[in-house]
Structure 1
């Protein structure tokens, strides 16, 4: 990830920020005129620290020659405790009652759930009530989390992903609050499509780091990283990424200061002693350590809190792509994991590749309610179907006939030595295949059979000798694995959460395990070149 390459140095280097029309200065003056009820200083001033002021000027100052805004999307990645909520609320008010307002304009802050939405609204409401000139021109609809400018008709409203449909919105400003916690992307898509209806609209994503890659937050942050690194030219996107590389020493206080811009302020925030206490506790509690890295240092973590392997190591196997044509006719082992209802069904093929393996999966899921399944699992099943990563079979359960047909196709194309099944749910398919001479075998999901397979799979990944081509569903499944280890060091796979899917990883372990066993040929005197036929005569 190389956080150093995406760090917003411009916040600290004193470089000039263009402001040809004075809109940046205008925004700063408005924010500094606000009051904040939690500030105990006389007059309760809203504090806009130097690093925050630079951000505001960078958002609102640069303009096209006709005065229209250049920056249309801001991706602000900040750890907890850096007053992200206060700054976001102030920006929302800037567009509701401040100089960025549009008559009748909709200003939306969107959160993952009603509780988080209420927190955002409460922050804005507190600022309004503490700022007399603003309070005098605003009417409240508290039950709707809404503030309305009586003079201009513009309004601010806090909404959530679990509040039902929001179609028809035409916002001029959207704050996507803690995007990493959004379980599905429906609201995101609705608001994004609504923003383009209004000229000069602005989207601000303000979030802490999250977990996993199959979510809308990772997509947005990763795009912002590419813009920050110069891989994508997009002046309309402003990346402001305070994050930490996963392999950085999380105990180093210099790392804390780099990730938390508020620590450079006086008084500093978050509380440095509080961070030290959290770090001390994290030394002895792995769960707390992961939370500290994610929430306080903005390390984007793997999905599982107890991962099988580091996903950065796993990702090294994405290149080069798997060439299935080149593998035709080569010895091959299949691992099959059949689903009972909501899980995916998967067939994984494994080929030996020197001291390592090449694997490729074929996933199946029911076509019925594909969007609902995507919402439940928080992953883009419809997109994966369109991109050919998944086969959707008619009905609300996987059609095993389609799976069996695929297995037969693979046996025709490759030199399939074994087809390993967990016999649960697979009796009929195994019988059908065996009857036609296909090498179907049982591989039960217990310690005795799976532990050696998992060990071999782990060895291959860590050694950089598992080539998988970067299949996104397979990656998601590996990311979901939670590992249980017995006293002898044997490992087994489990789901980190009930909605997680790990079927592809299980099938990959089965295929690799059988490939490992199958490659160890038994010695036979009949194939020993040192022994002649005469030596066998009695």
Structure 2
């Protein structure tokens, strides 16, 4: 219950909203409750040696006044009217712009992630924020506005996944600036550029097509609809320009998306969720606000929609129209039974992440796979002394190569592990193209970076021998894709290993590929949690023939989303599953082939 001794009208809007959420006076999801509790907890520890930040109400009020005195709506029922910020906006904006360093007055937050459903004025906020970055953003010690310092030649980037989307963000800001006498007198707003009338600089659209996108020193970067970005390139390039300004800020604004396995936005979402849950250290300079339906919520219950749509907290015409539109789209999607429409509604209207539907091999079961992991030490204890099949997938000598092991345990389960190999000289290039941390994984023991510019196969042989000797494994067979592997496996045969060529046609690979997934679904797989192997599983796409036989592939031939470690395990599974009483495997599986 609210404290009756407090006059809530005297409490700053940012703090009041946080208290209302935490006390349950406003409906909210878990993530929004965590963000509000974080703000209240920070208020209690502000201006301390371990937390040298303060919440400066005057700095929060400054951004409020900017919107409500200078910015006008450019579309919708309120077009042309001055913007009146809603309580949830005053919380978000108040936090990001109100928290400052207690001595320097520089803004606390350098990054902010805002995830909420479509229709909740994200574009309006972005337009106003980009213009504020050009005109009004400044630094001054707390409570001393007479010492204001503005950036010379301010640089504001409106970044999106492609040129067209980035231009749309820029055009919205342009229209808002043109419609405001106060803003238009400060800026030169032309057909193709926007700059400050006295201090120069620019407000420009930014996408992967922009030339010289890594040469700036941005004051503000707005990343629009991050869920649509296939890589984090734009974010990374923009963030690398920070440190050259007084208080650079990145605002990441998005809804959920439909590629939950590979999206950099989903990875950011997952990482920040762990931070809010206390599983990883809190990043004091990263503001996070996620408004979404939760997994246990019924998406058909209209009362739950407010969790992802904070505008529905208000009783006004826009909120009523938004709820009506959400209801119409809900009914159309679910009455049609069209999975594409349902997924679109779930991502855009209630902000729920969806797994990629493009024939992904592990679509919908990646969480099941992750739940079957044990620690590396527990895995090694479990399989010590067992016989195993080794599978090899020797790719191009400049790319990732996989070596996998499959064990049949006495309790009916299968244990699998895999190791990657990559030339050290190309690792940095592949980190940029593949967007995964090969060097970190190498340091953690999940892969080996071999000297030089091509994979040194002697390291693969050494790894196989070391695992056999150190862990008391008995390698019954080395099962290999003949591409690039004949000479190498002849060397292994000379060392006393039995080698079996695994033809790569669908007649050979379909049954073990299906069997491996079935084991995961039945909970009969155990693995050591390798992030590299997990990444390969999430990338795999299945290709089927007219008879329902499948084999695995990357999404595109030259795609950087690699599957090599999984391919190595499937090669080993071809032989490991022979004789399993739960399947019927014909003797011809090693010799028949099929071409798509």
What TM-score, normalized to structure 1?
Answer: 0.83
Separation in 2, partners of 1:16, 1:502: 44
Q: Give the one of 270, 281, 286 matched to 1:222.
A: 270
Identify the residue that residue 138 of structure 1 maps to in structure 2. 187
What SS class does the counterpart of residue 478 from structure 2 fall into? Answer: strand
> In the alignment, is residue 469 of structure 1 matched against residue 521 of structure 2?
no
Separation in 1, partners of 2:249, 2:526: 42
Identify the residue that residue 297 of structure 1 maps to in structure 2. 350
Q: Deviations over 1:427-456 (max 9, x none)?
A: 333444334431211332344432332233
Task: Decide whether aligned partners of structure 1 residues 260 and 41 sit closer, same or farther in structure 2, where only a CA change above 3 A counts.
Answer: closer
Aligned length: 517
Separation in 1, partners of 2:95, 2:102: 16
> In the alignment, is residue 364 of structure 1 matched against residue 421 of structure 2?
yes
How far 1:171 sits from its partner (Å)? 2.7
Identify the residue that residue 94 of structure 2 maps to in structure 1. 57
Contact 1:23 1:60 in 2 (8 A): yes
Task: Decide whether aligned partners of structure 1 residues 164 and 382 sit closer, same or farther in structure 2, where only a CA change above 3 A counts.
Answer: farther
Task: Decide whether aligned partners of structure 1 residues 468 and 243 sit closer, same or farther in structure 2, where only a CA change above 3 A counts.
Answer: farther
Identify the residue that residue 563 of structure 2 maps to in structure 1. 502
What TM-score, normalized to structure 2?
Answer: 0.75
1:21-170 counterparts in 2 under 5 A? Answer: 21-33=57-69, 34-41=71-78, 43-66=80-103, 67-98=105-136, 100=138, 102-104=150-152, 105-140=154-189, 142-143=191-192, 146-153=193-200, 155-167=202-214, 169-170=216-217
1:193-342 counterparts in 2 under 5 A? Answer: 193-210=240-257, 211-212=259-260, 216-231=264-279, 232-245=281-294, 250-265=299-314, 266=316, 267-268=318-319, 270=322, 272-273=324-325, 276-277=328-329, 280-281=332-333, 284-303=337-356, 305-309=358-362, 310-322=365-377, 326=381, 327-340=383-396
How far 1:123 sits from its partner (Å)? 1.4
Q: Deviations over 1:80-135 (max 9, x none)?
A: 33221221221122222125482313333333332232122111111101112211
Contact 2:73 2:79 in 1 (8 A): no
Separation in 1, partners of 2:554, 2:347: 21
Contact 2:539 2:562 in 1 (8 A): yes
Separation in 1, partners of 2:322, 2:474: 60
Task: Decide whether aligned partners of structure 1 residues 100 and 94 sit closer, same or farther in structure 2, where only a CA change above 3 A counts.
Answer: farther
Q: Any gaps of 5 or more consecutive residues in structure 2?
A: 1-27, 44-54, 140-149, 583-596
What SS class does the counterpart of residue 217 from structure 1 fall into? Answer: helix
> In the alignment, is residue 6 of structure 1 matched against residue 61 of structure 2?
no
Task: Decide whether aligned partners of structure 1 residues 368 and 237 sit closer, same or farther in structure 2, where only a CA change above 3 A counts.
Answer: closer
Separation in 1, partners of 2:161, 2:476: 49
Give the number of the structure with larger relative contact order, counting CA–CA contacts within 8 Å between residues 6 or more apart. 1
Separation in 1, partners of 2:531, 2:41: 42
- Greater mean alpha carbon deviation, residues 310-319 or residues 374-383: 374-383
How far 1:461 sits from its partner (Å)? 1.5
Identify the residue that residue 438 of structure 1 maps to in structure 2. 497
What SS class does the counterpart of residue 418 from structure 2 fall into? Answer: strand
Separation in 1, partners of 2:302, 2:247: 41
Contact 1:39 1:45 in 2 (8 A): no
How far 1:361 sits from its partner (Å)? 0.9
Separation in 1, partners of 2:307, 2:57: 32
Separation in 2, partners of 1:335, 1:124: 56
Task: Decide whether aligned partners of structure 1 residues 434 and 273 sit closer, same or farther in structure 2, where only a CA change above 3 A counts.
Answer: same
Separation in 1, partners of 2:298, 2:578: 39
Separation in 2, partners of 1:77, 1:336: 42
Task: Decide whether aligned partners of structure 1 residues 216 and 485 sit closer, same or farther in structure 2, where only a CA change above 3 A counts.
Answer: closer
Separation in 2, partners of 1:15, 1:410: 52
Q: Deviations over 1:232-276 (max 9, x none)?
A: 334432210023456765555444432222344431365643664
Task: Decide whether aligned partners of structure 1 residues 451 and 42 sit closer, same or farther in structure 2, where only a CA change above 3 A counts.
Answer: closer
> In the alignment, is residue 416 of structure 1 matched against residue 493 of structure 2?
no
Q: Give the one of 453, 465, 470 matched to 2:512.
A: 453
Separation in 1, partners of 2:423, 2:345: 39
Contact 2:35 2:276 in 1 (8 A): no
Separation in 2, partners of 1:246, 1:397: 46
Separation in 2, partners of 1:375, 1:138: 37
How far 1:416 sits from its partner (Å)? 0.6
Contact 1:456 1:513 in 2 (8 A): no
Identify the residue that residue 536 of structure 1 maps to in structure 2. none
Q: Any gaps of 5 or more consecutive residues in structure 1?
A: 522-538
Task: Decide whether aligned partners of structure 1 residues 79 and 31 sit closer, same or farther in structure 2, where only a CA change above 3 A counts.
Answer: same
What SS class does the counterpart of residue 38 from structure 1 fall into? Answer: coil
What SS class does the counterpart of residue 319 from structure 1 fall into? Answer: coil
Task: Decide whether aligned partners of structure 1 residues 368 and 301 sit closer, same or farther in structure 2, where only a CA change above 3 A counts.
Answer: farther
Separation in 2, partners of 1:255, 1:404: 56
Q: Give the one of 319, 324, 344 matched to 2:400.
A: 344
How far 1:24 sits from its partner (Å)? 1.4
CA-based RMSD of the aligned residues comes to 3.6
